[in-house]
Structure 1
Amino acid sequence: MTTIRDWVGFWDNPHSIYVNARHADVHYRDVAEAIVRLLPGPDARVLDFGCGEALHADLVAAAARTLVLSDAAPSVRRNLAARFAAVPNIAVASPEELRGEPDGSFDLIVANSVVQYLSRADLDALLAQWRRLISPSGALIVADVIPPDVGAVSDLVALLRYAAANGFLIAAGIGVARTAFSSYRKLRAELGIAKYTEAEFRGILAAAGFTAERLPANIEHNPARISFRARRTDAPARAGS
C-alpha cells in the first residue's frame, strides 16, 4: 500500500475526490468553460497551473493561441500528454519546467483550487513566478480561495446541490461517506488547508506586486469560496478604466 505524505503524492495516486466519472466530467467542463469566458482574446497564451486531469482543456485550446497545462503530479502529466497528444497548441509542463519560460510568456494564468494546498512560503514563491511569467497587460486568476468561516458543512451542501443539478446526487451521497475514511481526509487533518479572508488575500497579492478584484462568482461550484483576477501593478491602463 502506498504511503501518501504530501499533497503531490495524493494527486499522483488514485483518489476519490470525484465521486464518479460524471462528476469529473462536469467539473472539468465547467472549469474549462469558465476559463474560456476569462480569455482576453483568441490570441491569448494561457497557463493552467495545477490543472489536474483537465478533461476538457481542448475547449480552452480551441479559443486560445496556446495552452500550457502544468501539474506537479507526474502521473497526471503523463495522462495529460497522452490525452491531448493530437492537439497541436496544448503543451504539458512540470512546475520546474516553467522556470525556464521567458518573462511575459502568458496573457492569462489560472490557478484554480491550488492555494489551499500551499504553504505561505510556497504561495509567495509562486506569485513571484507568475508575476514574471504574465505579460504586462495579462491577468492572473486565483480561484477557489477558502475563507476561514467556510468549512465542511458548506462544502457538503455545495457538493450536494451541484450533484443534484448535474445528475450524480446518489453517487455524491456515497462519495461523501467514502471520503470520511479516505486518504484525503487523513492528509487534510495532518497538513491542514490554507484559508484566507478576502482582505488577507488581497494583501498577499498586493505584496506580490498585483492589484486585484474579486470576480462576481467563484470558478468552482462552491459559491462560498472566492475567485480573484489580479494584474501586475505596472500593467498599462485598460480602456475604459
Structure 2
Amino acid sequence: MNWRDYWNQDTPIYTGERHKLLHYRLVANDIIGLISSPDAIVLDYGCGEALCRQGGGQMCPALPERCRPLVRDRLKERFGSNPRITVVSTDDVSELPEASLDLIVVNSLVQYLSLDEFRSLLKLSRDKLKDSGRLILGDIIPPDISPLTDAKALLSFAWRGGFLRSAVAGLARTAFSDYRRIREEVGLAQYSEEEIVDLLSDAGFSPERAERNLGHNPARMTFVGRPVQDLDAEDATER
C-alpha cells in the first residue's frame, strides 16, 4: 500500500467525530480568514471531506483525479446543491482559464507528494492564479520534526477540545495501523524553510513564511506565495 491507496478508503486518522469536526472547523476558519473578498474564487486543493468550509467567496474543493473517488463522491453529495461550491478533479483544474483564481490553498498535502508532483502542482498554481492571487502551502513538515512532536501537538489540541481520552486511544490504534507502516516504509516529504522558499521562487512566486501554521500543529509551517510579474513584459512596457 502507498499513500494514494491509503487515502482512497475510510481511514482511522481521526480519533473520533469530535476530533474530525474540530479539526475541519479550525482549518476552515483559518482559510476563511485568508479570503479577502466575498467574490473571491478559492481553490481548496486536496480538501479532504471539507467539513464546515462555507466561508465567503466561491469555493472549489479539488481532489486529485487518480485518488480519493470515495471522498469526491461524498463532497458532491454534501455540496451538490450549493451554487457557490464546485467539486473538481485535477483534470478539471487544468482546464480552468489561466489567471482565474484569487486564492489556492494546499493544506496538509505536500508531505504525500513526490518532488516532481510538488513541482507540477506549483506550476499549475502559478498558471491559474491571478497576478494579485496567493498560494497557501499549509502544514509543511520540517526535517527535524518527529512523530512524537506530532503526537504532542495532537494531545494538546485534544486537551483543549475535550477529546483527550479518544485521542490517547486513537494514538494507540495508529501505532498498529497502516498509517504508521506506510509512514515508516514510504515516509513523508519533509522540507526546510529554505527548500520551500527555493521551490516557490523557481516556480515564479515571491515566497514568505506565515507567522503561524494552518491548523493545530505549531511545529509545522505555512508559506504564502505571490505570483511574480513577468519582468520581460514589464521591461517592454517601460520601453
Normalising by the residue count of structure 1, what TM-score does the alignment of the two structures yield? 0.92
Q: Structure 1 residue 161 and structure 2 residue 169: aligned?
A: no
Q: Which runs of 5+ in 2 are unaligned?
A: 232-239
Residue in 2 that maps onto 1:77: 72
Deviations 1:25-71 (A, max 9, x none): 0000111110110112111100000100001122x2xx11x111011
Residue in 2 that maps onto 1:67: 59
Q: Structure 1 residue 117 and structure 2 residue 130: aligned?
A: no
Normalising by the residue count of structure 2, what TM-score does the alignment of the two structures yield? 0.93
Equivalent positions of 1:2-151 (< 5 A) are: 5-58=1-54, 60=55, 63-64=56-57, 66-72=58-64, 73-151=68-146
Distance 1:20 1:46 in 2: 29
Q: Which amino acid aligns with 1:49?
A: Y
1:222 aligns to what SS in structure 2?
coil
Q: Which runs of 5+ in 1 are unaligned?
A: 237-241
Equivalent positions of 1:224-239 (< 5 A) are: 224-234=219-229
Distance 2:105 2:92 in 1: 17
Deviations 1:122-152 (A, max 9, x none): 0001100010011110000000000011111
8 Å CA contact 2:207–2:223 kept in 1: the answer is yes
8 Å CA contact 1:141–1:230 kept in 2: the answer is yes
Moved over 3 A (4+): none
1:18 aligns to what SS in structure 2?
coil
8 Å CA contact 2:41–2:103 kept in 1: the answer is yes
1:57 aligns to what SS in structure 2?
coil
CA positional deviation for 1:8: 2.3
CA positional deviation for 1:112: 0.2
Distance 1:7 1:108 in 2: 26
Deviations 1:178-216 (A, max 9, x none): 001111111112211111111111011111111111111
Q: Which amino acid aligns with 2:13?
A: I
1:91 aligns to what SS in structure 2?
coil
Distance 2:6 2:92 in 1: 21
Q: Which amino acid aligns with 1:32?
A: A
Distance 1:97 1:230 in 2: 22
Distance 2:103 2:225 in 1: 10
Residue in 2 that maps onto 1:176: 171
Same amino acid, percent of matched pairs? 43
**Number of aligned positions between the proteins:** 228
Question: How well do the aligned residues superpose, as a CA RMSD in angstroms?
Answer: 1.2
Distance 1:14 1:235 in 2: 44
Q: Structure 1 residue 213 and structure 2 residue 208: aligned?
A: yes
